[in-house]
Structure 1
């Protein structure tokens, strides 16, 4: 039996969906890891990008921070962080994935604020809006398409990369692939393919959903 047929049989086995280490459990773990990482990255990257973008300075700092975080291998972080105070489990995985998600969120937040028309800012200030009212009522709504683009990129990257959590027994769909390799290609080839298919399918689903959200929040004049 070839690996493709093994994959079909493996996916058609109800026990592989419902057992404690099955698809449903691993999928929920994968979603929790990905959501936690993207949320943490947003809490870090968006305030920095928005603040620097509003000031009109710090473009070089954004590039440096983005390059620095991109230069750190996720596998290295997954290996090192469990040995720190974070310990083993979901927390070091979430932190490692969050570092990976920071660059697109930071860059698009900065760009979104820089793209706000200065005349719009001046008009809002002329109407007596405070800095907070200007940010909340004018600048952020205009920057939403850029924030959505960064969120889309970061989320898809994190979902795909979260499979590496299996290297430190961190859970997620990558555990299915890891278990398949554990029993050997001959016996586990179908399981390996199934795990890879599930990860790719989840990433593509997230891409399609967030692409739709991005189109919805982007004015028609800006859509290509």
Structure 2
């Protein structure tokens, strides 16, 4: 199991680990629902901990934002690796990665955080490297199996996940069931044999990186 680089810290007690994970989950939901200005005391209340506990783990909002993003990406990497180890069907592994991203609220979270953090932070760079590596491995296996249409790249996958899990305006975060439903329709469209010719060319990670520069 890979581990995204974070600052070295003493090993936490089991109850402290649970509190930390509850805070991260609550912060993820609050940021998706209410934006980056979501009150930290409301995040603590949602997590079932006191304000002091929240600040003991995350001394300020920016630190909390960073660790929410790192945690979400680590969850996706770990689940994808577990799916690759346990699942013989490469397309089912691909589906598991896509649907896991929806459950982690990636579409609503990443656009909020992207402009608030230092893109050159080594921890973010390492998390991006691991996410890129596991996604490319999953897609390569699906292509090699002949189940994933050849004109789809990793960039196409990430763009679609982001768009299809983006909360609709006025929906207070949107419905997870709706996102999963639309992603399943999308996944069905990725299978071979292809039923149409896609306009343009496949998008890859390099294309996305060039556009973000």
Structure 2 length normalisation: TM-score?
A: 0.30
Structure 1 length normalisation: TM-score?
A: 0.29
Which protein has greater RCO, CA pairs closer than 8 Å, 6+ apart?
1
Greater fraction of residues in helix: 1
